[in-house]
């Protein structure tokens, strides 16, 4: 079965993620202006693409870097255990 082809938008998103430091201003502002997406939707799409074989075929260096960063982030979260929220006026 042939690999799925990336859409023009998906390619643009991957290219933006690879090249975003070249854009003026902050990443989030540039991302919102270019794709008209919320931050959470952008990162949701990027996460889906990170798991895609088609994206790996398009830009293996970027996808390996994104996968490595996700593994590191997930491992760091596991090291901290469950998040416990306390109100400021509560004592231990």
pTM for the structure as a whole? 0.73
pLDDT in tens, 25-80: 788 888 898 999 999 999 999 999 999 999 999 999 999 999 999 999 888 766 66
With 70 as the cut, is the pLDDT of residue 7 above it?
Answer: yes
What end-to-end distance do the CA atoms of the chain give, in Å?
58
Query: Helix 39-50 crosses helix 8-19 at what angle (to 10 degrees)?
Result: 100
- Helices H / strands E in the chain, number of each: 5, 0
Helix axes 27-35, 39-50, angle to 10 degrees: 90
pLDDT of 86 reads 53
pLDDT, position 2: 53
Better pLDDT: 32 or 91: 32
């Amino acid at each position: 079965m042939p690999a799925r082809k990336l859409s023009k938008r998906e390619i643009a998103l991957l290219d933006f993620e690879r090249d975003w430091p070249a854009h003026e201003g902050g990443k989030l502002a540039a991302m919102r202006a270019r794709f008209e997406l919320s931050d959470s939707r952008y990162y949701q799409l990027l996460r889906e693409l990170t798991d895609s074989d088609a994206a790996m075929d398009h830009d293996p260096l970027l996808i390996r870097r994104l996968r490595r960063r996700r593994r590191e982030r997930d491992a760091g979260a596991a090291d901290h255990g469950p998040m416990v929220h306390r109100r400021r006026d509560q004592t231990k």
